[in-house]
């Protein structure tokens, strides 16, 4: 894999071709919170240029020879590394991890605000958007992991993925089981693997159109999701970003797009949320999820009967083989009953299949929704502290067994 590193401390002015480049970058946000920021660029085998961020604790990181346990945080659909740092210093998992002695990296998938470049294609080319989260799982994620491990001279890391960030981990470990050994703990926030019981209204409506393969799929899919003028107008994205609508209306739109009503989302986050979200993604990513909802299976992208024959040598897409997943510690699944994108019934099906290979963390709070796993007012005690405790315990075990670097 061909990789290029570009490192800067502090503010980085990103010259991206992304169609929705952030005015305030993750690096800016990290610096404004009092931490140092490194920016790294990685080229994938198929030509996408991914930008990832490393958070530095400027008070303790002066000795670069000290190797700290690595944690990679990976965002969900229509998101980016910004999702981990928009809260500033308030109950932010990324900073809690840094302060606890971890070497924290923020990933970005192809096509989003920070990864909108390609060696040959621009975002105006439909071919640029010809991917789903399958490619993010089998190409972007392992490329990112290998780069980080090489850069830090370590052999394994901790992982936290929100929503699609969990999907791609299951894809990677199913398709490339040699990566099982590269994970210490893994924490799946609002995991989306099986999707039959997704209740989100937008997905329900789109399932009628693209739930089964049709000639519309490539026409709709080869474009950036939520960047189409008609969708931006319908969902008033630009009006909310420009503060032309009331906070109450824009908050409701956030709930509609991102998985249901939340009792824990504070309107004080609204400005930063709209400044950074929705981030660009391929429409094929959403179509792939809708296909899972209709089929009830966790399987690869459906290209139609003829397309499947050409690609998979069978008429239906193959299932991801979850039997290949065998990490050192259980994968930890955090879920609730009020998440419209990560339905409890779907997560519990996954728990039943995975058995002892996962640890289940059910959040019993009423109206704790999809975005709350990142931005809830009580996220520290409900989510972050659990992750830190489990991660710290794993480090103690590995140290005792002499398996830690």
In angstroms, the CA 141 to CA 136 distance is 6
* Catalytic position from the list 339, 342, 361, 372: 339
Nearest to residue 339, comparing CAs of 163, 176, 183, 172?
163
Nearest to residue 84, comparing CAs of 160, 169, 170, 22?
160
In angstroms, the CA 319 to CA 174 distance is 9
* Catalytic position from the list 79, 163, 166, 342: 163
339 among known catalytic residues: yes
In angstroms, the CA 91 to CA 384 distance is 8
Strand segments, DSSP code E, in 281-398 are: 331-336, 358-363
CA 143 to chain centre: 15
372 among known catalytic residues: no
**Nearby residues of 101 by Cβ (< 8 Å), 6 or more positions away:** 60, 68, 69
* Catalytic position from the list 118, 162, 284, 370: 370
370 among known catalytic residues: yes
Question: Do strands 103-106 and 48-56 pair parallel, antiparallel, or not at all (unpaired)?
Answer: antiparallel
What are residue 282's phi and psi, to 5 degrees?
-75, 140
Q: Which residue has the tokens 């994938």?
A: 44
Nearest to residue 189, comparing CAs of 377, 361, 43?
361
In angstroms, the CA 293 to CA 346 distance is 10
- Is residue 152 within 8 Å of 67, Cβ to Cβ? yes
What are residue 227's phi and psi, to 5 degrees?
-105, -5
Q: Would you mind telling me the total number of residues written for the chain in this entry? A: 405
- Provide the β-strand partners of residue 402: none
3-class SS of residue 242: coil
- Is residue 51 within 8 Å of 147, Cβ to Cβ? no
* Cα end-to-end distance, the chain, whole Å: 24
Catalytic site positions: 163, 339, 370
């Amino acid at each position: 894999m061909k990789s290029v590193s570009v490192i800067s401390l502090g503010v980085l002015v990103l010259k991206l071709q992304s169609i929705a480049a952030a005015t305030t970058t993750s690096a800016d946000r990290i610096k404004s919170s009092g931490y140092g920021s490194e920016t790294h660029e990685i080229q994938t085998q198929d030509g996408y240029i991914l930008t990832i961020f490393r958070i530095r604790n400027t008070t303790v990181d002066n000795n670069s020879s000290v190797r700290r346990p690595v944690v990679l945080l990976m965002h969900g659909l229509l998101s980016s590394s910004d999702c981990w740092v928009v809260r500033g210093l308030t109950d932010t998992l990324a900073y809690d991890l840094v302060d606890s002695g971890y070497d924290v990296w923020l990933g970005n998938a192809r096509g989003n605000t920070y990864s909108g470049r390609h060696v040959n294609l621009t975002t105006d080319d439909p071919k640029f958007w010809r991917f789903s989260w399958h490619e993010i799982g089998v190409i972007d994620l392992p490329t990112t992991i290998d780069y980080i491990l090489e850069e830090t001279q370590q052999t394994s890391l901790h992982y936290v993925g929100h929503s699609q960030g969990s999907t791609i981990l299951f894809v990677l470990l199913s398709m490339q089981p040699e990566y099982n050994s590269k994970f210490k703990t893994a924490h799946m926030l609002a995991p989306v693997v099986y999707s039959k019981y997704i209740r989100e209204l937008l997905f329900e409506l789109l399932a009628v159109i693209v739930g089964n393969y049709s000639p519309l799929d490539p026409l709709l899919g080869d474009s950036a999701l939520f960047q189409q003028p008609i969708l931006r107008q319908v969902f008033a994205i630009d009006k909310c970003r420009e503060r032309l609508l009331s906070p109450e209306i824009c908050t409701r739109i956030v709930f509609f797009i991102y998985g249901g009503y939340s009792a824990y989302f504070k309107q004080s986050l609204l400005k930063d949320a709209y400044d950074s979200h929705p981030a660009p993604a391929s429409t094929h990513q959403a179509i792939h999820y809708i296909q899972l909802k209709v089929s009830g299976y966790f399987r690869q992208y459906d290209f139609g009967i003829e397309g499947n024959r050409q690609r998979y040598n069978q008429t239906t897409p193959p299932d991801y083989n979850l039997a290949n997943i065998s990490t050192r510690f259980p994968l930890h699944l955090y879920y609730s009953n009020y998440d419209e994108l990560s339905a409890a019934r779907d997560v519990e099906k996954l728990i039943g299949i995975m058995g002892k290979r996962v640890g289940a963390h059910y959040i019993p709070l009423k109206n704790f929704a999809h975005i709350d796993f990142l931005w809830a007012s009580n996220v520290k005690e409900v989510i972050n502290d659990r992750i830190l405790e489990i991660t710290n315990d794993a480090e103690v075990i590995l140290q005792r067994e002499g398996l830690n670097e």
